[in-house]
């Protein structure tokens, strides 16, 4: 699979399908694993880092649970290509730094992504559209079983899977759910909800994970503790919290519709009007306007465009995607012009 082929493919997390897909964008299971008696990536010298990369890559290529695994060596990728993978949620911002002896493996459907030599030797993630953590876990578990058979994985009978970060020790699992919560933001209830999440020992991040702020009313909620809980317990705890957040977002949407429908319709249609006519538009403004369009679609205020089409605009208008489409590097102003042009063309074809 060629990297450029991904431009015409809708990532799993953007398909707009699955349970509660109007509020839950995607569900992700991430597993951290390390080779036994081998220095963690941050401590390994170049020789051991190279050996670890080769050993893991050989086994990863044999995974047959999903279609078409391709391994991309980060040292062979330029900055735009690496950012392209970050924008598609196929690897972390941290992994894109210091690229020696690093790789990312993905399948054709972008359900599976395996970062090699990130913070841990193996950072595997499985993505599913909608509220679907258990399905993501079932896939991840099968792949994890295969890797445990093929590789000597660091494991302690007392502590569980050994990881570079102590908070991941135990199952080595982080479950996370990407939520779109515009009504809670608009009704000014979001701060109370985020405070409650923190008190329950969960963490909230922005669209691109750790170190990023929430934008476009998108929030990632994940567990903080792995030790002392089984994978099923962790998922059940996350699911219980997410169900409460979904209920609160739905209540806030009902409130807006019953008390402020005219205001809501105005904001949705103004957002659409700007997107259809703008000649220059930033990435931040785009994501905020598309968030309102998505809410309008979810509430059947705007029926002519599908959730999937809106989601595709979220990703195609990101900086690296624009540069891959144009097949050249663009300045910030050039990207803002191309972004507006792409949105206009897409919306005129749809509406």
> Which positions ≥6 away from 193 have C-beta within 8 Å?
181, 184, 245, 248
pLDDT (average), residues 35-39: 95
What are the tokens at 316?
A: 């195609």
Q: Assign residue 33 the CATH number of its domain.
A: 3.30.590.10
Are 109 and 218 found together in one domain? yes
Residue 188 buriedness (CB in 10 A; 0-12 / 13-18 / 19+): exposed
Are 223 and 282 found together in one domain? no
Are 98 and 244 found together in one domain? yes
Are 286 and 232 found together in one domain? no
CA–CA separation, 311 and 331 (whole Å):
24
Write the DSSP symbol of residue 121: S
pLDDT tens per residue across span 285-324: 999 999 999 999 999 999 999 999 999 999 999 999 999 9
Chosen domain end from 195, 229, 253: 253
CA–CA separation, 115 and 105 (whole Å):
7
Are 46 and 124 found together in one domain? yes
Are 221 and 297 found together in one domain? no
Are 243 and 305 found together in one domain? no
Whole-structure pTM value? 0.91
pLDDT tens per residue across span 38-88: 999 999 999 999 999 999 999 999 887 666 899 999 999 999 999 999 999
pLDDT tens per residue across span 193-240: 999 999 888 999 877 555 445 677 999 999 987 777 899 999 999 999
Mean pLDDT of the chain: 92
Are 191 and 288 found together in one domain? no
Burial 270-301 (b: 16+ CB within 10 A, else e): ebbebbeebeebebebbbebbbbbbbbbbbeb
Residue-range definition of the domain harbouring residue 334: 261-350
Chosen domain end from 253, 282, 313: 253
> How many domains, the chain?
2
Are 81 and 151 found together in one domain? yes
Question: What are the backbone angles phi and psi of residue 143, rounded to the nearest 5°?
Answer: -70, -40
Question: Is residue 72 classed as helix, strand or coil in its secondary structure?
Answer: strand
Are 168 and 198 found together in one domain? yes
pLDDT tens per residue across span 246-274: 999 999 999 999 999 999 999 999 999 99
Are 46 and 120 found together in one domain? yes
What are the tokens at 334?
A: 């050039």
More confident: 121 or 4? 121
Question: What are the backbone angles phi and psi of residue 304, rounded to the nearest 5°?
Answer: -75, -15
Specify whether the CB–CB gap between 28 and 326 falls below 8 A: no
Are 182 and 73 found together in one domain? yes
pLDDT tens per residue across span 78-128: 999 999 999 999 999 999 988 889 999 999 899 999 999 999 999 999 999
More confident: 131 or 5? 131
Chosen domain end from 208, 226, 253: 253
Q: What is the DSSP string of 217-277?
A: TEEEEEES--TTS-HHHHHHHHHHHHHHHHHHHHHHHHHHHHH-HHHHHHHHHHHHHHHHH
pLDDT (average), residues 5-34: 91
- Predicted local confidence at residue 211, as pLDDT: 47
Q: How far is CA 92 from CA 89, 95, 109, 138, 257, in A?
A: 7, 5, 18, 23, 37
Question: What are the backbone angles phi and psi of residue 36, rounded to the nearest 5°?
Answer: -70, 135
Specify whether the CB–CB gap between 30 and 75 falls below 8 A: no
- Predicted local confidence at residue 280, as pLDDT: 98
- Predicted local confidence at residue 323, as pLDDT: 97
CA–CA separation, 133 and 136 (whole Å):
5
Specify whether the CB–CB gap between 164 and 154 falls below 8 A: no
């Amino acid at each position: 699979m060629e990297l450029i082929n991904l431009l015409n493919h809708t990532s799993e997390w953007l398909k707009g399908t699955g349970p509660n897909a109007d509020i839950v964008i995607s569900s992700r299971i991430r597993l951290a694993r390390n080779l036994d008696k081998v220095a963690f990536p941050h401590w390994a010298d170049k020789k051991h880092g190279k050996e670890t990369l080769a050993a893991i890559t050989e086994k990863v290529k044999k995974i047959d649970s999903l279609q078409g695994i391709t391994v991309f060596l980060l040292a062979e990728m330029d900055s735009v290509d690496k950012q392209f993978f970050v924008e598609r949620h196929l690897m972390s911002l941290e992994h894109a730094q210091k690229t020696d002896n690093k790789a990312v493996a993905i399948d054709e459907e972008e359900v599976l992504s395996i970062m090699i030599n990130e913070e841990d030797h193996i950072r595997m993630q499985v993505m599913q559209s909608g509220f679907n953590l258990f399905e993501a876990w079932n896939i991840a578990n099968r792949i994890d079983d295969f890797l445990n058979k093929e590789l000597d994985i660091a494991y302690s009978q007392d502590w569980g899977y050994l990881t570079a970060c102590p908070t991941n020790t135990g199952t080595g699992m982080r479950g996370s759910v990407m939520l779109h919560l515009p009504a809670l933001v608009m009704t000014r209830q979001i701060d109370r909800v985020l405070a409650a999440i923190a008190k329950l020992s969960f963490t909230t991040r922005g669209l691109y994970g750790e170190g990023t702020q929430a934008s476009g009313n998108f929030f990632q909620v994940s567990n903080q503790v792995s030790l002392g809980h089984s994978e099923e317990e962790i998922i059940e705890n996350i699911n219980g919290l997410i169900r409460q957040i979904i209920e609160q977002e739905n209540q806030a949407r009902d409130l807006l519709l019953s008390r402020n429908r005219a205001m809501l319709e105005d904001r949705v249609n103004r957002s659409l009007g700007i997107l259809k006519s703008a000649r220059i538009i930033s990435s931040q403004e785009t994501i905020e306007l598309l968030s309102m369009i998505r809410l309008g679609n979810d509430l059947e205020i705007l029926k002519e465009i599908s959730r999937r089409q809106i989601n595709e605009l979220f990703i195609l208008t990101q900086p690296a995607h624009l540069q891959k489409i144009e097949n050249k590097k663009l300045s910030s102003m050039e990207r803002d012009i191309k972004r507006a042009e792409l949105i206009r063309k897409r919306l005129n074809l749809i509406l």
